[in-house]
Amino acid sequence: MSNFQKTAIVLLAIFISLPVLFFIAPIALPFLFLAGMLYLKANLPRIKGAVGERAVNKELEKLGPLYNVYHDLYVPTENGGTSQVDHVVTSPTGIFVIETKHYDGWIFGKENQRNWTQVIYKRKEKFLNPIWQNHGHIKALKGYLGEQHNFQSIVAFSSRSTLKFEDDFSSARVIQIPQLNKVIKESLNRQISEVELRGINKALEQLVIHDGKQKRTVHKQHVEAIKVKQREKATIKPVVEKTPVTKANTELCPKCGGQLSIKKGKYGSFYGCSGYPGCKYTAKIS
């Protein structure tokens, strides 16, 4: 078959299909648009978080050659599980452990409060104190790298947030993401020798997962371990209360591993997952 004949057949096929396309398109487009909007709404928290993490990664990469940066590490814990750490920066001046929060609105909280508050217009939502959360990450890193090193805790909120703290924090620096590099470079005195630093970096590099499929598997195992741990806690009866303890469920969602927070609905307050509407897990407040 000649090229001319092939071209003629293609043009004929397009000509025949045009009426069908003109007929189907007006009907199909609204459904395709609706499906796209529903997908975007369901995955918005995950997409927003991924975009925010990439922005933090780019910011930390500007630190320079004295700093080594590690992202999204699953650090083994003493109970056989893992602790998911957003970012770790190593340098001769210390090991900086960074917990990032890509939140909008006003942020209220105190160092020793279990829950902090996010306010957007008249809507208030509570979330676990990120200083406490990062303390757990540092504990895991100390078990993995050794307690003798100089660990420094940093909690970094989105620049879209407004930090409304009344008091200073002694156990962590709570800042906004654009301030990250400046705060890290404030430490000038050497705390870690070159030999120790090479050992630390080598150990952390072993936790870096480059393969996407493997990372999804590790994340799935991490979430499943959280579910098992929370189910075990939920079966333990408290000494004073007569009902099963539900406070264990106020940190992480047992369904997807997302952050649980207190929300208000038509019938009162309840615990809801930050991954809503993609995750619709809820729990009663006892």
* Token digits of residue 276: 């809503």
pLDDT of residue 260: 77
- In angstroms, how far apart are the furthest CA atoms of the chain? 88
Q: Indicate if 216 and 281 belong to the same structural domain.
A: yes
DSSP strand E in 27-185: where? 68-76, 82-91, 94-101, 105-108, 115-120, 123-128, 151-157, 161-163, 173-176
pLDDT of residue 128: 93
pLDDT of residue 247: 40
Q: Indicate if 174 and 94 belong to the same structural domain.
A: yes
Q: Indicate if 173 and 263 belong to the same structural domain.
A: no
pLDDT of residue 250: 47
Residue type for position 199:
G
Domain's final residue, options 9, 35, 60:
60
pLDDT of residue 1: 63
Q: Indicate if 199 and 87 belong to the same structural domain.
A: yes
Q: Indicate if 236 and 183 belong to the same structural domain.
A: no
pLDDT of residue 70: 95
pLDDT of residue 188: 85
pLDDT of residue 163: 95
pLDDT of residue 264: 73
Q: Indicate if 43 and 99 belong to the same structural domain.
A: no
pLDDT of residue 116: 95
Query: How many domains is the chain built from?
Result: 3
User: What are the per-10-residue average pLDDT scores of the chain (286 residues)?
Assistant: 66 66 64 58 56 82 93 90 93 95 93 94 92 94 92 94 92 94 91 94 94 85 78 62 40 72 75 72 75
Q: Indicate if 69 and 86 belong to the same structural domain.
A: yes
CA count, 13 A, side-chain hemisphere, 199? 9
Q: Indicate if 22 and 73 belong to the same structural domain.
A: no
**DSSP-derived pairing of the beta strands 105-108 and 115-120:** antiparallel
Domain's final residue, options 60, 86, 111:
60
pLDDT of residue 192: 93
Q: Indicate if 254 and 135 belong to the same structural domain.
A: no
Domain's final residue, options 190, 208, 226:
208
pTM over 0.95: no
pLDDT of residue 278: 65
Instruction: For residue 2, give its domain range.
Output: 1-60
pLDDT of residue 234: 67
Q: Indicate if 72 and 181 belong to the same structural domain.
A: yes
Q: Indicate if 93 and 4 belong to the same structural domain.
A: no
- Compute the distance between CA of residue 12 and CA of residue 8 in angstroms, rounded to an integer: 6
Q: Indicate if 160 and 146 belong to the same structural domain.
A: yes
